[in-house]
Amino acid sequence: MEKPVESDRISNLPWDVLNSILMHLPLRDAARTSLLSRTWKYKWTNLSQFVIDDKCFPNSLPDKARWGEVRRIFNHVRSNHSGPIEKFKLAAYCYPDHSDLDEWIIFLTFNGIKELILQDFSVIRRFKLPPCLFSCPQLICLELHGCIFKLPTTFGGFNCLKSLTLTQVSIISETLERLIHSCPILERLTLLNIDHLAILRIHNQNLKYLKVDSEFEDISLESCPLLASVDIHMIPMDGRTVPRKLEKGNPSNLIRVLGCLHGIKKLSLSSDFIKFLANGSLPERFPTPLLNLLFLDLKKITFSSFKDVAAFFSILRSSPKLEELVISVVYSNQACRRVLGFLKEQSRYDFFFSQLKVVRIRGLHGTKPEWEFLKLILAHSPVLETLTIVKYETGRLRESLLLDVERASENLKIMSLTL
């Protein structure tokens, strides 16, 4: 008697279940299911999400040959796909053919794309985005790399967009301002190596996260009441490291730019941006304290500039709830007596980092201003739990000196590391 043929339970699953299973596989493995049977030949092409990354190619495949494989995937999907495509991510280090890319973006916009992510091209040749992308109201996440960004006059906004990332994109300040303003529920904005920015105006009532690593001359963050995390690395335009002087009567950059961030919880600033903020008169404290700021990261600062030190001390004094402070230091052999006197003077003031629990300082060389800053932190941080010091091997800071320094915290643990 013949045994009954077992039913193919997996093939008979509803498509939404199969789609969920296949989406958890790398695309290369999902495509291999086409070898199972005629029933499975084109199932992978009907996925609602496609991620093309390094896992899709043999390790030995050169960058220039990868686009041929990407094109082959495009053609298979375009010829056999039915149903919506909600997410497409291209993160394969390759040389794109922009005519192919245009056709693919057009195809995606007509198939209900919600997340479009283009990353990591081997070469940057600015390509124009097809106009249909700006008539894609269901977009939730948009990440673009190496393109020319021009808004059509008919652009009505991305009403569903929550996350926007632009990397090595050519866009002028006015267009970027209009774009940001036209995304009413935008929550996350990342701008990396943007061309042609002069004044960076970011006004959005719903924005919560901002990261900028780019050239610009000025920045405005007004009308961003929900901003909770800000990370700004300013690259000076035309190699100019000294910001233009402010006209008399104008508020300092420090207060104008950061003073409106009343909801900020996490703040990361580069040295060049601190130098920009230090332009103008510097108050001891902000008119309105940063009552929500818990984490402050100061990158590549130097203790040789009085204005830079005074600027970040104004931020410190205005952050009564600060819990974690991270600083990386750039060595300077230029002695500044004014900085040293300023730091010693702070030690005599009756102010404390009353909530500060964690301090990490990287790149110490043991200069006198650095030493005074360490003493100030130890003497004015009553609940400090850990102080981590990372110094260069050539530095002169002796850990044994820390044992005799006045400490406000009884439960402090000091860790010293050497690069």
Q: Which of 5-14, 157-166, 343-352 has the lowest mean pLDDT?
A: 5-14
Q: How confident is the model at residue 42 (pLDDT cuts 50, 70, 90)?
A: low
Domain that residue 353 falls in: 237-419
Asked if the model's pLDDT at residue 1 lies above 50, the reply is no
Determine, yes or no, domain membership for 114: no
pLDDT of residue 84: 87
More confident site: 380 or 366: 380
pLDDT of residue 27: 66
Per-residue pLDDT tens digits for 258-295: 999 999 999 999 999 999 999 888 888 999 999 999 99
In contact, 166 and 142? CB cutoff 8 Å: no
Determine, yes or no, domain membership for 333: yes
Determine, yes or no, domain membership for 355: yes
Determine, yes or no, domain membership for 299: yes
Domain count of the fold of the chain: 1
User: Where residue 277 sits, what CATH number does that domain have?
Assistant: 3.80.10
Determine, yes or no, domain membership for 146: no
Asked if the model's pLDDT at residue 239 lies above 60, the reply is no
Residue that is written with structure tokens 């077992």 in the block: 6
The pLDDT of 137-146, averaged and rounded, is 93
The pLDDT of 175-182, averaged and rounded, is 95
Determine, yes or no, domain membership for 303: yes
User: And the tokens for 301?
Assistant: 């600062």
pLDDT of residue 171: 93
In whole angstroms, what is the distance from residue 315 CA to residue 296 CA? 9
Residue that is written with structure tokens 């190699």 in the block: 239
Q: Which of 142-146, 205-209, 250-254 has the lowest mean pLDDT?
A: 250-254
Per-residue pLDDT tens digits for 240-268: 544 455 455 566 899 999 999 999 999 99
More confident site: 40 or 388: 388
Per-residue pLDDT tens digits for 117-136: 998 776 667 888 899 999 98
Query: Under the phi-then-psi rule, with left for phi > 0, alpha for psi from -120 to 50, and beta for the rest, what region is 44?
Result: alpha
Determine, yes or no, domain membership for 113: no
Determine, yes or no, domain membership for 21: no
